[in-house]
Structure 1
Amino acid sequence: MKSGLMKKRDDDENTGEIHLTPMLDVVFILLIFFIVTSVFVTEAGIDVNKPDASTALPRSQDLILIAVSGDGQIWIDGEQIDGRFVRSRFERRLAETPNASVVIQGDEAAENQHVLRILEAARDANITSVSISTEN
């Protein structure tokens, strides 16, 4: 009988403890969730040397970033595409975000014909806001 009373007292003492392990698990899961879902800077796909400009204005809308390398390669959303498919890519992106504007990140060494091909594709896709990214 005496041993039964001792066992009951031990159970009563354990009920007042707070276990921190589940709480720490939840905190770490929330931390991972916020790190993974944070906003990342979108890039066109390659680094280009942008030309300098004295009248540069910042843009803050839904942007379609397109990069043109010095040797004429065209990149959209980190993926190299053929210049013939730029218009279809613009139309697909406009279906997702109708008010999107195009920002062309052209390398200093890029030929004008590549940039003009992109401008023509934007016009054909009915994009009204097109700008060229420069260094300040």
Structure 2
Amino acid sequence: MAFKKYAAEHEEAKVDMTPMLDIIFIMLIFFIVTTSFVKPMGIDYNKPESSARSSAKSDNILISVNKAGIIKMENRQVDIERLTANIERKLAETPGAAVLIQAEGETLHGVVVKVMDEVKTAGVKKISVTQSD
């Protein structure tokens, strides 16, 4: 019995890409057919510009906290114990005001949380916290 030394000189393995391309095209057609294109319903309108808003005084209360834990309200230093009374006084002047707490990047979270607790104790519903540079 004679065996060939080499079964095939240079047989290269080839992968038939046709079935894979067929599957991709079938999936593409499936997704196109099943997608629903719905135009959102609504009314387009133009809002008029209001000049009264630009001249009105801001209703926001700004409280800033630096990295040393010093709390300032209306550009004056305030103790944490007196913060609730100051906010209540400001709310009496402008009811429904929102409070913006602006803390420096390295401020301890505990100080900011104490300020938020005092603001909530004063009865403020809208509180925002931002980070200053």
Q: Give the structure-1-normalised TM-score.
A: 0.53
Once superposed, which parts of structure 1, at least 4 consecutive aligned residues long, lie more than 2 Å away?
Answer: none
The alignment yields a C-alpha RMSD, in angstroms, of 2.1
Match of 2:117 in 1: 120
More helix by share: 1
CA distance in structure 2 between the partners assigned to 1:109 and 1:133 by the alignment: 13
Equivalent residues, number: 78
| C-alpha distance after superposition, 1:45-83 (max 9, x if no partner) | xxxxxxxxxxxxxxxx61000000001000001101111
CA distance in structure 2 between the partners assigned to 1:119 and 1:113 by the alignment: 10
Contact 2:91/2:97 (CA < 8 Å) preserved in 1? yes
Match of 1:103 in 2: 100
Task: Name the SS for the 1:66 alignment partner.
Answer: strand
Letter of the 2:86 partner, please give it. Answer: R
Structure 1 runs not aligned, ≥5 long: 1-38, 43-60
CA distance in structure 1 between the partners assigned to 2:59 and 2:131 by the alignment: 18
Letter of the 1:108 partner, please give it. Answer: G
Are residues 1:82 and 2:79 paired? yes
Q: Give the structure-2-normalised TM-score.
A: 0.54
Q: Following TM superposition, by how much is the alpha carbon of 1:122 offset from its aligned partner in structure 2, in angstroms?
A: 1.1
Contact 2:105/2:131 (CA < 8 Å) preserved in 1? no
Q: Following TM superposition, by how much is the alpha carbon of 1:126 offset from its aligned partner in structure 2, in angstroms?
A: 0.9
CA distance in structure 1 between the partners assigned to 2:84 and 2:112 by the alignment: 13
Identity of aligned residues (%): 30
Are residues 1:93 and 2:68 paired? no
Structure 2 runs not aligned, ≥5 long: 1-54
CA distance in structure 1 between the partners assigned to 2:111 and 2:86 by the alignment: 16
Task: Name the SS for the 1:94 alignment partner.
Answer: helix
* Higher Cα radius of gyration: 2
Contact 2:104/2:131 (CA < 8 Å) preserved in 1? no
Q: Which has the higher contact order (CA 8 A, sep 6+)?
A: 1
